[in-house]
Structure 1
């Protein structure tokens, strides 16, 4: 474990973050290392985990990344599972748990367990345990204290954020009713909303508009060009347009649907019927702050 990664971890408190976004970051940042060692890395968020948590988000990400990278570096070819979850800890408090399971060398408790736990406790009030099983499997559990956002407070905060920020959005759906519902939710939050009735029209809107939209809310199942194909096409555009945040808004809720969307280059994934708080939360995660 690289001690410097922990020592210099950021110390920001009270930032709202999404466990799903943390899992995506973790998967992407360690993918090359895992592939190089012949490791099948599976990172996911357990069902029932709250969609948003409040805590030291940057440090949580740095510590999860450091722990996962250390396990990969000390593992042979095989499989490593990483599961993120949240456990109740009383009142609004919860524990963000990162659990790694696989065959990796922990270098003994002093190297992989106690020393890491000592540093985490100092930085974040976190705890870590490493279990050794008779079959050679190991289970490392990293627990970090976080909190749940107040529902009313978070919804109000998101509305205030949206009204202060504003911006131009593109809503893509082949259903006129769905377009109207999503566009209406976003317009009431203060955004300027344009619509497209399919993937081909969405690509044209992003590629040819003098000023492209700042984010795209993309349906997936559409007859002329589906959202996955449209996203892959947009990602090939130049002039910065290929980097526009694209958020799937779809009735397809199976894990393989989510993987397919993210693999195509979508930034986030929401399922219908979608709530305004979910839309605003996703936009807050991916829209850059407005310049002062």
Structure 2
């Protein structure tokens, strides 16, 4: 990813960072203020968020900390909890939007309150955006802070990726209406150390994700299929309403036009690979989207 494709704060330095590390830093930096005001602070990273992102990590961390501190400071002592959820949304090409969502009973009026208009003006200069939702249940408010980021470069070393895959492993679902294509992709992944299941179409893939006792960790999804195409299958999975809705879905398709990529990402796919696909491309995409195994 070229640094010029990222909008970041003047003087900001674009580096790789881990959302999990950002969450831990945020928990530590805001813990004292939360404890002093008797506000329960809950910070987490939603499943399906890439384990590594590229961006202005210092500015991202400062923005998240400032927003959390402002929300805590404008919450009446002992009045509840502040939840912070970090996630990433596809934004085209190799770009993503890093989202920090804050939910709590913080004030948005007066000198001591969380000041949305001032925040919006400050964020505009940093390439970030804020939205606020009022009128939630029990007086809760939700603020979403969207910041530009990117996925790590696709330039990868085949040997390093094979080593990563063999140590990482995991269960994958390969979806394709062509028996040959299923066999080829499943074979490449199995030789790299993954446990692979297959589905012959979009409808079967939806059932495999929705009804499996233990769902796959990622889906390799063909697009052009007769019963239910990959775009419709992805949209259905994303509508499930639980953690299964956030499973990484990677398009593996012969449709190589720019509008095809846009259509796939708009449907909720995380990544996009074109056939004939190489094992290094498959492993590189999986490395970008599979969370590290717990230590």
Q: TM-score, normalised by structure 1?
A: 0.52
Deviation of the 1:263 alpha carbon: 0.4
Indicate the structure whose relative CO is greater, using CA pairs within 8 Å and at least 6 residues apart. 2
Q: SS of the counterpart of 2:214?
A: coil
Using the alignment, how far apart are the partners of 1:156 and 1:186 within structure 2?
14
Q: SS of the counterpart of 1:58?
A: strand
- State the number of aligned residues: 168
* Structure 2 equivalent of residue 231 of structure 1: 234
* Structure 2 equivalent of residue 179 of structure 1: 182
Deviation of the 1:57 alpha carbon: 3.3
Q: Deviations over 1:234-265 (max 9, x none)?
A: 00013300000000000000111111000000
Deviation of the 1:5 alpha carbon: 4.0
Distance 1:12 1:272, change over 3 A: closer
* Structure 1 equivalent of residue 291 of structure 2: 288
Unaligned runs of 5+ in 1: 16-55, 67-81, 85-115, 117-145
Deviation of the 1:9 alpha carbon: 5.0
Using the alignment, how far apart are the partners of 1:7 and 1:202 within structure 2?
46
* Structure 2 equivalent of residue 266 of structure 1: 269
CA contact (8 A) 2:12 2:59 kept: no
* Structure 1 equivalent of residue 169 of structure 2: 166
Which of 279, 285, 293 is equivalent to 1:276?
Answer: 279
Q: Summarize the alignment of residues 187-206 of structure 1 with structure 2, pairs less than 5 Å apart.
A: 187-206=190-209
Deviation of the 1:60 alpha carbon: 8.5
Distance 1:273 1:61, change over 3 A: farther
Using the alignment, how far apart are the partners of 1:250 and 1:205 within structure 2?
20
Using the alignment, how far apart are the partners of 1:196 and 1:83 within structure 2?
27
Using the alignment, how far apart are the partners of 2:154 and 2:226 within structure 1?
40
Q: Deviations over 1:19-72 (max 9, x none)?
A: xxxxxxxxxxxxxxxxxxxxxxxxxxxxxxxxxxxxx93339979xx9xxxxxx
* Structure 2 equivalent of residue 43 of structure 1: none
Distance 1:12 1:171, change over 3 A: closer
CA contact (8 A) 2:9 2:56 kept: no
Distance 1:232 1:148, change over 3 A: closer
CA contact (8 A) 1:261 1:269 kept: yes
CA contact (8 A) 2:202 2:232 kept: yes
Instruction: Confirm or deny that 1:257 pairs with 2:230.
Output: no
CA contact (8 A) 2:12 2:56 kept: no
Using the alignment, how far apart are the partners of 1:166 and 1:62 within structure 2?
34
Instruction: Confirm or deny that 1:57 pairs with 2:54.
Output: yes
Distance 1:83 1:202, change over 3 A: closer
CA contact (8 A) 2:251 2:273 kept: yes
Q: Deviations over 1:174-201 (max 9, x none)?
A: 0000000000000000000000000000
Q: SS of the counterpart of 1:280?
A: helix
- Runs of 4+ with >2 A deviation: 4-13, 56-63, 146-149
Using the alignment, how far apart are the partners of 2:161 and 2:279 within structure 1?
9
CA contact (8 A) 2:248 2:269 kept: yes
Q: Summarize the alignment of residues 42-81 of structure 1 with structure 2, pairs less than 5 Å apart.
A: 57-59=54-56
CA contact (8 A) 1:6 1:62 kept: no
Deviation of the 1:147 alpha carbon: 9.7
Q: TM-score, normalised by structure 2?
A: 0.51
* Structure 1 equivalent of residue 213 of structure 2: 210
Distance 1:262 1:148, change over 3 A: closer
CA RMSD of aligned residues (A): 3.3
